[in-house]
Structure 1
């Protein structure tokens, strides 16, 4: 009978630990969501300013920084990497050497 009680208590302890772990993971996930929302709200004005500044550039100016009009909407996507900038002066120096 003592062996059955020991197994029952071990099962209860394991169940409680699993429930506590699930709650901890849930709280952390909610915290990450809240952090992401706060970060989005805080950075929104700067993102709008950057977007508007890029939209005000001419096609030539965008080309000089390695972008096109299509790239403006993607600038804030994770992993966005514009083409290398237009370094015509550096290319001329390389050809002359």
Structure 2
């Protein structure tokens, strides 16, 4: 048996190898595009979040100052305590307050 490859055998194998290389190249380029798109989306979200934080800061500060000026009785009327003022601006505070307000009367803690 001869282990050498003849020219016709080589040329018949070459196009399929070139096709495999082109396919691998296209898969790599698609992966690069997907990665670049994900990075772009992350950057856009970070910029939007930073912009909103800067724009909303004066309003948040004003609300915090107004809440701080209220008496304990006034805060109690709107369902807050003095310790809740700093937590009002946390993302999950509204959901926690809603769950606490909808809890059965016997399961609420005394404030």
- Give the TM-score, by structure 2 length: 0.73
**Structure 1 residue aligned with 2:88:** 75
Q: Runs of 5+ in structure 2 lacking a partner?
A: 1-13, 102-111
CA displacement, residues 29-79 of structure 1 (integer Å, 9 cap, x when unaligned) = 000000000000000000000000000000000001000001000001112
Q: Considering only aligned residues, what root-mean-square deviation do their CA atoms show, in Å?
A: 1.0
Count the aligned residue pairs: 84
Whichever of the two has the greater Rg, that structure is: 2
**Separation (CA, whole Å) in 2 of partners of 1:2 and 1:79:** 59
**Separation (CA, whole Å) in 1 of partners of 2:23 and 2:46:** 35
**Structure 1 residue aligned with 2:4:** none
- Give the TM-score, by structure 1 length: 0.83
Say whether 1:40 aligns with 2:57.
no
CA displacement, residues 16-40 of structure 1 (integer Å, 9 cap, x when unaligned) = 1100110011011000000000000
Q: Runs of 5+ in structure 1 lacking a partner?
A: 85-97
Higher relative contact order (CA 8 A, sep 6+): 1
- Where has structure 1 moved over 6 Å in runs of 4 or more? none
